[in-house]
Structure 1
């Protein structure tokens, strides 16, 4: 039923998006059409990566899901950087970290916990990811903020570029560690669950759908960025709220949906890999890449977040580490993570 709804939304939304942008419809109407179209396209990206996850296994499947889910956010952010909206980009990165760690993980734990009293996932991966989360958010994001207080804009940008290169190098090393040198070394009891079902689509069909959906998302995302200013004025929203909540939820719709499906099927290794793996990819790859890409545009983006953004991300990281480090989850832990997300959402709305 849900698949049919998303199919209808896609076949109506894409032509409407093209017509609306050519005929210059009001920005608020276009904003809603673009957001719904991206979510519908993201469902196809989610189903394609789910098929690839069944074929490739939990780690590679989770990585693929996070990568293509984050591709939407990366595309939106590049167009926003081109438009000079560095504040929206930094806010959307914050929103992705909060959304993945608190909303996606929280909903996965909650929905899976309703069906199963106790769910388990790879404790070794959880502990490995905890160290990387601490490094990416509490070291790499906090350092530029603290040091920039005594630096010029040029020096802050140079520091950001240096940190970005180190983050990308460490992220690639982490992938090499998990997928090559230590693949299969740290196994959990639930690691064998991935191959129980047949993939919905064949490998080739999934890749083709993934490619087409990504191209469509790129087109709609570019138009979505141009509506931000007018929508902010109409609804009285700040750029910070649009970035942290709206762009982050729309941009990560694909992985949100996939993680919940896997949690409901008691495939927590993949669900957790999507939620936490996606956060690591945002913090250690997408954010640094955007800093480097911004050097090509008129307005460069240093890796300096506002104090509320940093505190919110640090709190989310500490909370998910404490909750997930035992390799088990239940519905109450999920509810706790979602409550934290709602509290932060209210704060950013009122800020």
Structure 2
């Protein structure tokens, strides 16, 4: 039923976006149409990657879901960079980190925990991800902020470029570690059932085709969506920080949100955790550094320097997630705790 609704919304939303752009509809109308259409298109990306995950396993499936899910945000961020909205881009990266860790993982733990009292996932993956999360957010994001206090803009940008290259290299090395040299070394958690006879919704070729078409459609809709941010923010009294941290992050990560929760409610926690935390690592260690490098081609370059509230929010989200997930188990109360933290941060960013 839900899939049919998203299909209808996507089928109507894309033509409406074209019409709204040509006829110059109001910014609010274009924003609402664009946001809902991106979410509907993201559902197709989620279903396609889920079909691929059936034949690829939880790690590769989760990585595929996170990658194509983050492709939406990467596209939105590139258009935002082109429009000079650097504050929105940095805020959306912040929103992705706290959204994936607290909202996506929190909802997965909470809703999955309501159905299954005690859910398990890979203890070794949890510890591996914990170390990378601490590095990516607390080390690689905090250092530019501290060092930039005694640097000029050129030096800060050079530092950001250097850190970005190191982070991308380490992220790729991490993939090589998990998928090549240590693939299968650490077995999946006990108690998690994978159906060997589970049939994918779509074939491999159809899934890849749908991913490509949905990504192209998202690219077009996102370009129109970005141009509404400033006007909508002024009319509703939203700051660029709030738009980036909450609105863009939720819309841009809609695919991961739906897929991770669905996997958790099927008690496939390895996939759910890989989507939520794997997506966060990809944002922090690949997408953010990549945007810094891409910005060098834009009229205005983007240093990897966040505001103090953004850094505190991301560091808090990382420490809370690490402390809750490090034992390789979850329950509904832990999920509720993470959701409460997200709501508190959302209120703070709204009032800033």
Q: Which TM-score band applies after superposition, normalised by the shorter structure?
A: over 0.9
1:184-217 alpha-carbon deviations (Å, 9 max, x no partner): 0011325662645111111111100011000000
Query: Aligned equivalents of 2:208 and 2:330: distance in 1?
Result: 32
Q: Which runs of 5+ in 1 are unaligned?
A: none
User: What residue in structure 1 maps to residue 261 of structure 2?
Assistant: 260
Give CA deviations for 1:281-317 in whole Å, capped at 9, x if unaligned: 0000000000000000111000000000000000000
Name 1:9's counterpart in structure 2.
9
SS in 2 for 1:189: coil
> Runs ≥4 in structure 1, deviation > 4 angstroms?
none
Distance 1:49 1:236 in 2: 37
Match of 2:279 in 1: 278
Give the match for residue 245 of structure 1: 246
2-structure distance, mates of 1:21, 1:45: 24
1:70-89 to 2 correspondence within 5 Å? 70-89=70-89
Aligned to 1:311: 312
Following the alignment from structure 1 to structure 2, what is the Cα–Cα distance between the partners of residues 194 and 250? 31
- Report the aligned-residue RMSD: 0.8
Corresponding residue of 1:230: 231
| Matched residue, 2:140 | 140
- Shift in Å at residue 55 of structure 1? 1.1
1:91-144 residue CA offsets vs partner (Å, 9 max, x unmatched): 000000000000000000001001000000000000000000000000000000
Matches within 5 A, 1:148-297: 148-187=148-187, 188-190=189-191, 193=194, 195-297=196-298
Does residue 51 (structure 1) correspond to residue 37 (structure 2)? The answer is no
Q: Secondary structure at the match of 2:194?
A: helix
**What TM-score results when the alignment is normalised by the length of structure 1?**
0.99
Cα-to-partner distance string for 1:19-59 (whole Å, 9 max, x where unaligned)? 00111000001000000000000000000000011110000
Contact 1:122 1:269 in 2 (8 A): yes
Structure 2: runs of 5 or more not aligned: none
Partners of 2:191 and 2:93 lie apart in 1 by 31
